Amino acid sequence: MADPKGFLKTQSRELPKRRPVSVRLMDWKEVYEQQESGALRRQAGRCMDCGVPFCHQGCPLGNLIPEWNDLMWRGEGRQAIERLHATNNFPEFTGRLCPAPCESSCVLGINQPPVTIKQVEVSIIDQAFANGWVTPHPPERLTGKTVAVVGSGPAGLAAAQQLTRAGHTVAVYEREDRIGGLLRYGIPDFKMEKKQLEQRIAQMQAEGTRFRARVEIGRDIAWDDLRARYDAVVVATGATVPRDLPIPGRDLSGIHFAMDYLVQQNKVGAGDTVADQITAEGKHVVVLGGGDTGADCIGTAHRQGALSVTNLAIGQQPPEERPEAQPWPMFPTLFEVSSAHEEGGERVYLASTVEFLTNEVGEVRAIRVAETEYVDGRRVPKAGTEREVPADLVLLALGFTGPERVTIEDQLRLTFDGHGSLERGATYETGEPGVFVTGDAGRGQSLIVWAIAEGRATASAVDAYLEGETVLPFPVKPTDRSISV
């Protein structure tokens, strides 16, 4: 156990400072400063090493949180990263980007603020990279079996790393020009700088994973040809189809899906030139949708020099305190002030967008918005409450409906469930032998921590399929929806 009296001596959370808003808006670097090591140790020391560690259940990866809290408190960073890597291939991603459902189920959280688990996690991996403790783990022997992983987001990367280490020859196919999925082209640098991705890809390459960017399976290589070339295929293509808002004026210029906007800025950040880049500079920006994607658009628009940023959400503002209906150890839906929200803009709840309004040359100039009212549980615009919100750029961040269908349906003959996600069985295998589905493609729009957990479990299932048995862990079933997320 970490400090036996730690939770009595330190009763509050200490998190690293965010850089001042006026400074961080001038660049694209991560917003957090380094945390002083004493504060981190105090936080790790608050962990009570509970007999039943609910945080294990809160984390979809089953991270061994009390063990590495204890090791960090003792200053045993090298052992801490070994325990962390035992369950999580990529703590540098989750330590920066996870909403930390583990903290909602921390036992200390019943009557005190929970341990800053996510901060301890990211400190362990940052320290490990800085000290050269993250080294390649190539397999001791090769099995002679080959696996194609299609899609290089966190699910595909986790599956590929596990399978490579198990001795299979793995190639990751990605249709974009760079590897990383949404970690590369969705999430902006101010949330996670791309060097985090580069150093992990370098480790994977040194272990033997092969990366094939700019290859779209279904177009550049037919799915059947891919199956013929490999002993198993993992479909990790994400849930990339954006939800649209088909209301009057939708075809005006100046209205874009959030991902079209975010991808372009991430490419510019990588040093590319993007012709006719969608930019918020000098514009009144309206972001529709209140989730992570919306927040990423807000932070990006402010850095590009928007005149104003308004974020409209159709639903009610979530409560600031845990509601009774979501008691500990559940992961509650709370009003969140992310770093992007802190940087400015107005957030409006119960706002139903009714129409996009045009100027004389066919560009959007405003949107007509009404108050949302609930009628028989449905959200509808309330009559007589309509008003105009000026908008030269509208970004639709309304979520995703599922994976793209065409070539997967036609060439691979996979089926989709009622939510639009790819169907798979209890071991992630589909009706087509040797074809597995993992991550958002099968789960629907979700989180990085779930994508990594599914990628690890899928690798275990693929290894068992190829070898008849496996020692790889199987952290989550496709149907798992823990009480946390």
Ligand X SMILES: Cc1cc2nc3c(=O)[nH]c(=O)nc-3n(C[C@H](O)[C@H](O)[C@H](O)COP(=O)(O)OP(=O)(O)OC[C@H]3O[C@@H](n4cnc5c(N)ncnc54)[C@H](O)[C@@H]3O)c2cc1C
Query: Which spans of this chain sit near ligand SF4 (rule: CB under 6 A)?
Result: 58-59, 61, 63, 65, 94, 98, 100-102, 117-118, 121, 449
97 makes contact with ligand X (CB under 6 A): yes
Closest alpha carbon to 264 in 273, 254, 255: 273
Residue 344's identity, in one-letter code, is: G
Question: Chain-centre distance of CA 166, in angstroms?
Answer: 26
> Rounded CA gap, 410 and 405, in Å?
8
Residue 133's identity, in one-letter code, is: W
Query: Which of the listed partners (ligand SF4, ligand X, none) does 475 bind, with a CB threshold of 5 to 8 Å by partner kind?
Result: none
Query: Which of the listed partners (ligand SF4, ligand X, none) does 238 bind, with a CB threshold of 5 to 8 Å by partner kind?
Result: ligand X
Euclidean distance between the first and final Cα of the chain, in Å?
Answer: 27
398 makes contact with ligand X (CB under 6 A): no
Whole-number minimum distance, CB 4 to ligand X, in Å? Answer: 33
446 makes contact with ligand X (CB under 6 A): yes
CB-nearer residue toward ligand X: 93 or 465: 93
Query: Which of the listed partners (ligand SF4, ligand X, none) does 123 bind, with a CB threshold of 5 to 8 Å by partner kind?
Result: none
Residue 419, both tokens: 């939510």
Residue 277, both tokens: 């880049």
Q: Which of 152, 164, 266, 484 binds ligand X (CB under 6 A)?
A: 152
Residue 332, both tokens: 């509650």
Whole-number minimum distance, CB 156 to ligand X, in Å? Answer: 5
Residue 174 sits at φ, ψ, to 5 deg, of -140, 130
Surface-to-core class of residue 136, CB atoms within 10 Å of its CB (0-12 exposed, 13-18 middle, 19+ buried): middle
Query: Which of the listed partners (ligand X, ligand SF4, none) does 402 bind, with a CB threshold of 5 to 8 Å by partner kind?
Result: none
- 329 cis-preceded (ω within 30 degrees of 0): yes
Residue 122's identity, in one-letter code, is: V
Query: Which of the listed partners (ligand SF4, ligand X, none) does 168 bind, with a CB threshold of 5 to 8 Å by partner kind?
Result: none
Question: Chain-centre distance of CA 237, in angstroms?
Answer: 14
Query: Which of the listed partners (ligand X, ligand SF4, none) does 61 bind, with a CB threshold of 5 to 8 Å by partner kind?
Result: ligand SF4
149 makes contact with ligand X (CB under 6 A): no
The angle formed by the CA atoms of residues 281, 286 and 292, to the nearest 5 degrees, is 100
Q: For the stretch 65-96, what's the b/e string if a residue is b when 16 or more beta carbons lie within 10 angstroms of its beta carbon?
A: bbbbbbbbbeeebebbbbbbbebbbbbbbbbb
88 makes contact with ligand X (CB under 6 A): no
Q: Which of 13, 85, 175, 256 binds ligand X (CB under 6 A)?
A: 175
Place of tokens 């009296």: 5
Whole-number minimum distance, CB 441 to ligand X, in Å? Answer: 6
Helix (H) or strand (E) run with residue 184 in it: helix 182-185
Whole-number minimum distance, CB 338 to ligand X, in Å? Answer: 9
Residue span 211-230 as binding mask against ligand X, x where in contact by CB under 6 A, dash where not: -----xxx------------
Tell me the three state secondary structure of residue 288.
strand
> Rounded CA gap, 170 and 368, in Å?
51
Identify whether the C-beta of residue 366 lies closer than 8 Å to the C-beta of residue 390. Answer: yes
Query: Which of the listed partners (ligand SF4, ligand X, none) does 151 bind, with a CB threshold of 5 to 8 Å by partner kind?
Result: ligand X
Whole-number minimum distance, CB 482 to ligand SF4, in Å? Answer: 10
Whole-number minimum distance, CB 362 to ligand SF4, in Å? Answer: 45
CB-nearer residue toward ligand SF4: 94 or 458: 94
Q: Which of 49, 76, 82, 176 binds ligand X (CB under 6 A)?
A: 176
User: Parallel, antiparallel, or unpaired: how do β-strands 351-358 and 364-375 relate?
Assistant: antiparallel
174 makes contact with ligand X (CB under 6 A): yes
Q: How many CB atoms lie within 10 A of CB 130?
A: 10
> Which of the ranges 12-20, 51-59, 357-365, 433-441 carries the binding residues for ligand X, by CB under 6 A?
433-441
Q: Which of residues 244-263 bind ligand X (CB under 6 A)?
A: 262
Whole-number minimum distance, CB 439 to ligand SF4, in Å? Answer: 15
Query: Which of the listed partners (ligand SF4, ligand X, none) does 121 bind, with a CB threshold of 5 to 8 Å by partner kind?
Result: ligand SF4
Tell me which residues touch ligand X (CB under 6 A).
97-98, 150-156, 173-176, 181-182, 186-187, 216-218, 236-238, 240, 262, 292-293, 296, 439-441, 446-449, 451
